[in-house]
């Protein structure tokens, strides 16, 4: 049983306990007789609240319902319908309806039961006089007290339940954000993946349709040789090291993702091909100078890249394809270079 439901039930039973304690004295004052039912109800809800707090509220839900129904029936019998006791059936109905472990048919049956009880008590009050006739002052007092208890019970239940819904929505939103980030992240390098970068480019094109941008495709030269010479773990180390270097220099204004295998794609918003070419050339030099050491072995790598500028009419796939074509031009002409 959820903690919020237990909290609503226990707090509600504590409020009822206070209500029964006050009712014990006020009923005695109004009728000039000691009626022990309120005291018995006080003991029952106190034990029920303790049980719910210590062992969970499953049993206490039934006790809570039985106490409310029994109290309403006894109250109508002894003081009549006009004191507003029937209002206590409403928070009971709300509590039962928000019990997530009750199937719909149980809730419908309980609703019909409460409706039947209310109609029976009203019919009884029409054909039977109350045991005690209250004067106007006490009638107003009990009407006010019963209404206040009903509204306080409703407030307690709604506060606990609405808070739980808000917490659940907040956690769901955080979980969805985490899943979205995870779905858009390459697990090895922790860079965005292809889908995430394409989403960013699409958003840029929709929000800033009149602004140019460039894309670049870069590939590690002779990466297969790294894997074959030093092993696939060294290949993973190389990819992660390169990704970290890209992250460190991304402040120059580009976004980068792992495009697939040893390829990386760069998105450079607001840059023309000259600006983007300079960024990629600087990056090419930085990668060539980057020291790498795997299990005591020093080695280095280089990259080749192709850069293409958005022409305001081609599809993004065509721009990326042109950058990829330039990449292979660079590989065919000797690698370790940037083709613009």
As a whole number of angstroms, the distance between CA 200 and CA 268 comes to 11
Query: Among the options 35, 262, 263, 322, which is catalytic?
Result: 262
What is the residue-wise DSSP string for 304-334? EEEEEE--SSS-HHHHHHHHHHHHHHHHHTT
As a whole number of angstroms, the distance between CA 103 and CA 135 comes to 45
* Helix ranges (DSSP H) in the chain: 3-31, 37-55, 58-79, 89-97, 104-127, 136-183, 194-207, 223-230, 232-249, 273-288, 316-332
Q: Catalytic: 35?
A: no
Name every residue whose Cβ is closer than 8 Å to that of residue 164 and which is 6 or more positions away in sequence. Answer: 2, 4, 5
Q: What is the 3-state secondary structure (H, E, C) of 152-178?
A: HHHHHHHHHHHHHHHHHHHHHHHHHHH
| Dihedral sign of CA atoms 274, 196, 187, 225 in order | negative
As a whole number of angstroms, the distance between CA 187 and CA 184 comes to 9
Length of the chain: 340
As a whole number of angstroms, the distance between CA 307 and CA 327 comes to 8
Name every residue whose Cβ is closer than 8 Å to that of residue 225 and which is 6 or more positions away in sequence. Answer: none
Catalytic residues: 262
């Amino acid at each position: 049983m959820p903690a919020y439901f237990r909290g609503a039930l226990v707090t509600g039973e504590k409020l009822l306990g206070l209500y029964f304690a006050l009712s014990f004295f006020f009923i005695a004052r109004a009728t000039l007789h000691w009626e022990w039912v309120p005291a018995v109800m006080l003991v029952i809800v106190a034990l029920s609240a303790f049980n719910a707090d210590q062992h969970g509220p499953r049993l206490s839900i039934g006790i809570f319902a039985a106490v409310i129904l029994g109290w309403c029936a006894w109250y109508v019998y002894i003081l009549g319908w006009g004191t507003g006791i029937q209002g206590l059936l409403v928070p009971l109905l709300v509590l039962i309806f928000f019990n997530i472990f009750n199937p719909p048919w149980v809730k419908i049956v309980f609703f019909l039961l409460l409706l039947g009880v209310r109609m029976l008590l009203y019919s009884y009050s029409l054909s039977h006089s109350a045991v005690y006739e209250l004067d106007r002052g006490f009638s107003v007092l009990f009407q006010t007290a019963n209404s206040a208890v009903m509204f306080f019970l409703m407030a307690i239940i709604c506060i606990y339940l609405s808070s739980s819904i808000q917490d659940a929505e907040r956690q769901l939103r955080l979980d969805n954000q985490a899943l979205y980030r995870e779905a858009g992240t390459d697990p090895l390098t922790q860079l965005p993946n292809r889908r995430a970068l394409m989403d960013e480019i699409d958003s840029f094109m929709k929000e800033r349709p009149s602004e140019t941008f460039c894309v670049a495709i870069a590939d590690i030269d002779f990466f297969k040789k790294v894997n074959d010479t030093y092993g696939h773990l060294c290949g993973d180390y190389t990819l992660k090291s390169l990704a970290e270097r890209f992250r460190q220099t991304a402040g120059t204004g580009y976004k980068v993702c792992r495009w697939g295998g040893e390829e990386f794609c760069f998105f450079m918003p607001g840059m023309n091909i000259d600006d983007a070419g300079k960024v990629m050339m600087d990056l090419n030099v930085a990668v060539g100078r980057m020291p790498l050491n795997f299990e005591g072995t020093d080695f280095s790598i280089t990259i080749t890249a192709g850069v293409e500028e958005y022409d305001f009419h081609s599809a993004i796939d065509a721009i990326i394809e042109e950058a990829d074509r330039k990449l292979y031009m660079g590989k065919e002409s000797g690698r370790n270079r940037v083709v613009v």
